[in-house]
Chains A and B, each alone.
Chain A
Amino acid sequence: MNTRLDFRKLAKASRKVKITDTLTSLKIAVMGNHALQFFSSALRNQLLLLGINPEIYEVGYNQIDIELIDADSKIYKFKPDVVIFFESTFSIQNGFYKLDSDLKRMNFAKATIDKIEQRIKYFDGKTFLPKIIYYSYELVDDNVFGNYFANVQSSFYYQLFQFNAKLLQLTEKFHNLYIFEINKYLKQVKDTRNWTNVVVSDIHFSLDQFAYLAFHNAKMLSTFSGQFKKCIILDLDNTLWGGIIGDDEIDNIEIGNLGIGKAFTRLQIWLKELQKRGIILAVCSKNEEKIAKLPFEKHPEMVLKLEDISIFVANWNNKADNIRYIQKVLNIGFDSMVFLDDNPIERDLVRQEIPEITVPELPKDPVDYYHFLVELNLFDTVSYSKNDQNRTLQYQQEALRMKAIPSLTNMNEYLESLKMVGEIEAFQEHDVARIAQLTQRSNQFNLRTIRYDTDDILRIMKSSDFLTFSIKLKDKFGDYGLISVIILEKNGQNKYKIDTWIMSCRVLKKGVEFFALNYILKTLKEIGATTLDGEYLATKKNVPVKNLLQDLGFSKKENGYSELSVVKFKNIRNFIQQNK
């Protein structure tokens, strides 16, 4: 993971990636009004490094509207998962200059937005609904009005600002629309463009700039396919504060106004914001637990408090072992974890023992921590729901549950002692964001790994071809919230098949699948259905559900499907009480 690979090094690195079936496939259409061949090639290479093998269809230069209007165009046969619209400010500039009145120029941003709405709407009613990534316009002024541009609504730079603001607002209208804000990623590359290539060949950015844009764009795409970070594991001494709490004692650690404490404060404030967004914070420190907790409890200038930390591990064990313990409690993939430590030896050890985990090479000087980490854009996401904000509490409860296990002799006794209550119902409007998010985030307990966005879920809810179920779970330690989603699709006369069966990994092995199946079969019986078909689609991560259907009593058929007879089904024992 290197944001700084230039175009040529990137090409070399990607040549080493073996193209195999284990890579995720992704169909991307790229459209623009400037020469994008180098961009597409850099995007392909960045994706390969992220384990995605893309098929890229580059729509002819400046052919956007012709391609979209014609229903027989290749783009509709290609059925892209993602369409990237990457337009250049230089290319629209001449069109702006041709507008012959101030009034028309003042309307430029709005007229352009209307055109874009139209472009997005061309995908309505097709058999596929791609995610759309629209590049904002590069903010580059012609300086015709100089710094007075803001006072002149008909100036080019004014209209660019207007356009970008309106573009962001369009996401409220189209849930499949995502914005790639190009200005965030310019100026961070030494030579943004080569003017010979701009003028002679219509290549508006340097190759290295394309590589950098492609890096961030590829990260966005990998987030679409479910690769994202959920947890950040923190070292303490010289990472969260300056100094060593065991030696320096609480008054002498650098945080807040002491020494370069502001550098650590800045980092902590940012971590707190991530935590509020739903990123889990865990501590992994070589310390006595009591001493390590002191600053969190007593230091007035600490931003992070104990209640912000989901799991606190301070002991003298090897850090890789402690991280494995944290992983076990959280039950998320190592590849969704980030480990922050100022000590290069610890970083190397963790990298070697757990290669999937992301370990940023923190700069030596703590004042560089914050901006270095921000630039890595490690926490890109494609969803945000209220549930995210409660996550810290949920994992603290999980840590308590883990501690409760050893005192009980068998699993059934343990499950019974949890006093679980489940609520199962058809999808409700207020749960749609969370349901879509579960389809995006879940990798392990996911029978077919189909990702849906909120629009898809709304469409499924409204269709009479589907039966939907969502499950919420509580136990004596706390509320898990909405943790399982099942979608059944009508599959002929009196038959249904499982389109989606997902469960949050936080409730694995609690019998939620039994609870769910009992209810589903009761529902199917009531509407007179006779069989339920199911199918397991293997991915790298969903091994836990490989035998789910067989374990639930489905019998294998020849076509890869398994089936369950509704009539013969007998309820499966579990320890979840049904609410209402």
Chain B
Amino acid sequence: MILDELTNIFRDVFEDDDIHIENTSTSDDFDEWDSLNHIYLVVEIEKHFKIKFSSREILQWNNVGDMVKSIENLIVK
């Protein structure tokens, strides 16, 4: 569910409607996933789920799964 919503955001940010992401996806899997688009992603994720990540936790993500976990934690609270 969260992964589906994330997929939509990734597609808009990377301007590519065909991409698929999984929990194991990392920035190495996508050419478009550079530092600027990473910022764009975070902004849009926060806006979509109406949450705010702490500046530290953003630095600790290693893959999409970590992002999903952060989102789940913030939504539950």
Chain A residues near B (Cβ < 8 Å): 7-8, 11-12, 15, 37-38, 194-197, 199-201, 203, 206-207
Contact = CB atoms under 8 A, between A and B. Distances in A.
B36 A37 contact: yes
B33 interface: no
A194 B42 CA distance: 11
Interface of B: 12-13, 15, 35-36, 39-40, 42-44, 53, 55, 58
Nearest to B13: A8
B12 A11 contact: yes
A194 B44 CA distance: 12
Contacts of A200: 55
Contact of B43 (A11, A195, A207): A207
Contacts of B40: 7, 38, 207
A196 B36 contact: no
Contacts of A11: 12, 15
Main secondary structure of the interface of A (DSSP, over half): helix
Contact of A206 (B15, B36, B43, B53): B43
Contacts of A203: 39
Contacts of A199: 55
A44 B13 CA distance: 16
The 6 closest A-B pairs by CB, nearest first: A196-B55, A207-B43, A8-B12, A37-B36, A8-B44, A201-B39
B14 to A, nearest CB: 11
Given A38-B40, A199-B55, A207-B40, 18 more contacts: A7-B40, A8-B12, A8-B13, A8-B44, A11-B12, A11-B15, A12-B12, A15-B15, A38-B36, A194-B43, A196-B53, A196-B55, A196-B58, A200-B55, A201-B35, A201-B39, A203-B39, A206-B43
Nearest to A194: B43
A45 to B, nearest CB: 11
A455 B59 CA distance: 52
A400 B44 CA distance: 58
A195 B43 CA distance: 11
24 contacts: A7-B40, A7-B43, A8-B13, A8-B44, A11-B12, A11-B15, A12-B12, A15-B15, A37-B36, A38-B36, A38-B40, A194-B43, A195-B55, A196-B53, A196-B55, A197-B39, A197-B43, A199-B55, A200-B55, A201-B35, A203-B39, A206-B43, A207-B40, A207-B43
A37 B34 CA distance: 13
A195 B46 CA distance: 13
Contacts of A38: 36, 40
B26 to A, nearest CB: 20
Contacts of B36: 37-38
Contacts of A37: 36
Contacts of B13: 8
A7 B36 CA distance: 14
A200 B55 CA distance: 8
Contacts of B53: 196
B39 to A, nearest CB: 6
